[in-house]
Structure 1
Amino acid sequence: MEFDVGARLRAVRKARKMSQREMATKSGITNGMISLIEGNKTSPSISSLKKILEALDLTLSEFFESDAAVVDKFVFRHNELEKITPEQVDGAGINPLSSAATLRRLGYSQGSSLLMLYETYEPGADTGEPYTHEGEEAGFVVEGELLLEVDGEVEVLQVGDGYKFASTKPHRFRNIGSERCVVISACTPPTF
């Protein structure tokens, strides 16, 4: 399932009767960048999207929640995992590394106290500036290697290594290897 970040952001901004310029001022993200994101010309880093959503008074989970009715099911095939970071349009040249990180959400955040993600980081992919949110998160590297920065401390994780930390500490993920990195993670409460 593809999630159209640009269309969703534009719809939410317009519903709040906010111009791109007002949102840029309130979020600290340039008007040009917001225009590129809304036009799906670039994908925002997680930290940039978080700043934009804070300006809209939305959580990441609220932003990415689909309007589809939540179905009571317990198995989700890989192609059913909602992709919450769209592919970057080639040639946009803005924040190129963040587009190489793909997060796929298991299930629905509505009515759930747990978020599970299947995260893929292509070589060089980076979540951007360290960011924070409510709760705690944990995960395991199942393929490749990952640089994890938490509250200014940096560690490199290999296959089989795991992490767990309070999400209120500034954190950032980056694939420093030459191969793709896959992480299975959990976060509570749901923020995506």
Structure 2
Amino acid sequence: MDIGNKLKLLRKQHGLSQRELAARAGLTNGTISLIEKNRTSPSVASLKSLLDAIPISMAEFFSIIEEEDTSKVFYRSEELIEISPSSQGGVSLRQLGNAENHALQVLHESYEPGADTGPEWLSHEGEEAGIVVRGRIEVTVDGAVTELQAGDGYLFDSRLPHRFRNLSDTVCEVVSACTPPSF
């Protein structure tokens, strides 16, 4: 997916200059320019800040069109929507279906060794829960830090500042859910 061009189109549709968007998102104009030209990939947290500044949710940004007359029930691995490819900082977030059409957002998350959600804290409406399927992940929620391993889980009010980091030397996989879809 061409994140840069999609962001540029969205920014222009909302009548924002690169400078205005940068100021609203707390980023530099140069960073916006590099992202829009696909010369750099935003961290998950930076992209969230950009989309909040427009405003549009990540679910809306990465939505796909589902058939109107038939609701899709089953999805193959290749049909999951790549919200953040692993080439963008080692974090891969793949969404199940079009979150705009549902009250629940489900993600398959993969964190390469050393990867994290970025230096900015994440915060969004709703509740978030997940279970570590493989590996270990450090989760910080409102200042509380713990390392979870396969079989462990989390559940919290996602308005609280939070972040995820893989401090181990192996890939970590998490299946998570957020309601309402706001990430």
Q: Same fold (TM over 0.5)?
A: yes
Q: Is the 8 A contact 1:43 1:86 kept in 2?
A: no
Distance in structure 1 (CA, Å) of the matches to 2:56 and 2:170: 34
Q: Deviations over 1:28-73 (max 9, x none)?
A: 1111111121122222122211211121111221222135646522
Name the counterpart of 2:74: 75
Shift of 1:87: 5.1
Change (3 A) 1:74 1:68: closer
Name the counterpart of 1:178: 169
Shift of 1:17: 2.2
Name the counterpart of 2:99: 109
TM-score (norm 2): 0.92
2:14 paired with 1:23 = no
Aligned length: 181
Residue 183 of structure 1: SS of its match in structure 2? strand
Structure 2: stretches of 5+ with no match in the other structure = none
Query: What letter matches 1:10 in structure 2?
Result: K
Q: Is the 8 A contact 2:58 2:182 kept in 1?
A: yes
Aligned-residue RMSD, C-alpha: 1.5
Name the counterpart of 1:45: 43
Change (3 A) 1:8 1:35: same
Matches within 5 A, 1:48-59: 48-59=46-57
Q: Deviations over 1:113-149 (max 9, x none)?
A: 0011000000111101211100001001111100000
Distance in structure 2 (CA, Å) of the matches to 1:4 and 1:116: 22
Name the counterpart of 1:13: 11
Q: Is the 8 A contact 1:5 1:40 kept in 2?
A: yes
Name the counterpart of 1:150: 141
Query: What letter matches 1:26 in structure 2?
Result: R
Structure 1: stretches of 5+ with no match in the other structure = 89-97
Identity %: 50
TM-score (norm 1): 0.88
Q: Indicate the larger mover: 73-82 or 37-46.
A: 37-46
